[in-house]
Amino acid sequence: MVSKKALAIGVIVTVVVVVVVVVPSVLLTQKAEFRETFMKKCLEFPKEKHICERAWVLFEQAYVGKDPKTVTPDNYKELFDEFPFTYPCEKTMLWSKTSDLVKLVGKECYFPIGRTLLGHVLDGLFWCGKENSPETFTDFSECTKPKINPYESFWTMAAIRYAQHACKEVKALLNGDVEDPYDTKSFLAESEVPYLDHTKVTKLDVILAVKTKGRPGCNDKSLKDLKSELRKKGIGYDCKEVFRAQLEKCKHEKSADEVCKCQELLKM
């Protein structure tokens, strides 16, 4: 007869075995799903099919096996060195708190960061690693909990390189219905405007999307601060208010020509 002690040991062993078998399976599935999404979105760029594997390798090595708090923007330097922005630099479109609109008015004629390869692939995804672990984790709250984390660091480096690529007259689509259209804590203020190159960028055109007239609009204090900041850099500034409803009509346009005509709204 088996003693209670032996039976208890057997139960413990069984439980341990189940835990060891199940947990890695869950982790591998999480990583596999993330990689599958990464590759699928990358392959949506016809000209980039041959480099998607390389992009994944460089992206993954930036954060896998590392404590999230130690993953700084510099961790992604090699990724952006090998995959720099290549779109026409005069078609740069910065934005802040207008993610819904920029996808409408940025298509075809401008290149908000979401239309670039790496911007498109990582848009809407969250990721991080753990020290000495080969896995990728995708829980939003866990991955973005530290002030410095793989997600924030990627977009910081992306914003810096994106701003450095810009030239001539740059557009910035901002939200005129919020407290500070030019939020000093935004990627725009911290990682884009400071990195605009005055030897290449002549002017920043702010398109201020508003629901109705009545707010300070282009006279908003935060925008005056933006204008002052640009003046110190030797870059011109202009601002134009456009009704949000007018910009939303762009989503109904089908052909590239029609979209570009719709985007006449963005011209000063």
How confident is the model over 143-188, as pLDDT tens digits? 999 899 999 999 999 999 999 999 999 999 999 999 999 999 999 9
25 pLDDT tier (thresholds 50, 70, 90):
very low
Average pLDDT over residues 47-66: 92
Sort strands 168-175 and 236-243 into parallel, antiparallel or unpaired.
unpaired
pLDDT at 21: 42
Torsions phi, psi for 134 (to 5 deg): -85, 5
CA 147 to chain centre: 17
Domain-located, residue 154:
yes
**Span 135-143, mean pLDDT?**
92
Of 20-34, 81-95, 142-156, minimum mean pLDDT range? 20-34
Q: Is 3 exposed, middle or buried (0-12, 13-18, 19+ CB in 10 A)?
A: exposed
Residue 161 lies in a domain: yes
Residue 36 lies in a domain: yes
The answer to whether position 239 is within a domain reads yes
Q: Which residues pair with 210 in a beta bridge?
A: 243
For the chain, the average pLDDT equals 87
Rg value, the chain, Cα: 23
What range defines the domain where residue 163 resides? 14-266
Beta pairing class for 236-243 and 201-210: parallel
Question: Among residues of the chain, what percentage have pLDDT more than 90?
Answer: 70
DSSP three-state, residue 188: helix
Tell me which DSSP letter residue 207 carries: E
For residue 2, is it within any domain? no
Split at pLDDT 50, 70, 90, the class of 50 is confident
Q: Which residue has the higher pLDDT, 203 or 106?
A: 203
**Do residues 105 and 242 lie in contact, with contact meaning Cβ atoms separated by under 8 Å?**
no
Q: How confident is the model at residue 16 (pLDDT cuts 50, 70, 90)?
A: very low
Domains in the chain, number: 1
pLDDT category at 264 given cuts 50, 70, 90 is confident
- Beta bridge partners, 241, equal 208
Residue 258: pLDDT band with limits 50, 70, 90: low
Give the model's confidence band at 53: pLDDT under 50 very low, under 70 low, under 90 confident, else very high.
very high
Percent of the chain with pLDDT over 70: 83
Please tell me which of 12-21, 38-47, 48-57, 77-86 the model is most confident about, judged by mean pLDDT: 77-86
Q: What is the CATH number of the domain that holds 152?
A: 3.40.50.720
Tell me how far apart the alpha carbons of residues 59 and 153 are, in angstroms, rounded to a whole number: 12
Put simply, whether the predicted model's pTM sits higher than 0.95 gets the answer: no
Query: Rounded to whole angstroms, how far apart are CA atoms 133 and 35?
Result: 16
Is the residue at 137 inside a domain?
Answer: yes
**Tokens encoding 46:** 């016809």
How many other C-beta atoms are found inside a 10 Å radius of the C-beta of residue 241?
14
Tell whether 4 is covered by a domain.
no
| Digit-coded pLDDT (tens) for 201-231 | 999 999 999 998 778 899 999 999 999 999 9
Q: Is residue 221 part of a domain?
A: yes
Please compute the mean of the pLDDT values over residues 102-111 and round it to a whole number. 80
How far apart (Å, rounded) are the C-alpha atoms in residues 197 and 165?
Answer: 8
| CB-based burial, 194-226: b 16+ in 10 Å, e otherwise | eebeeeebeebbbbbbbeeeebeebebebbeeb
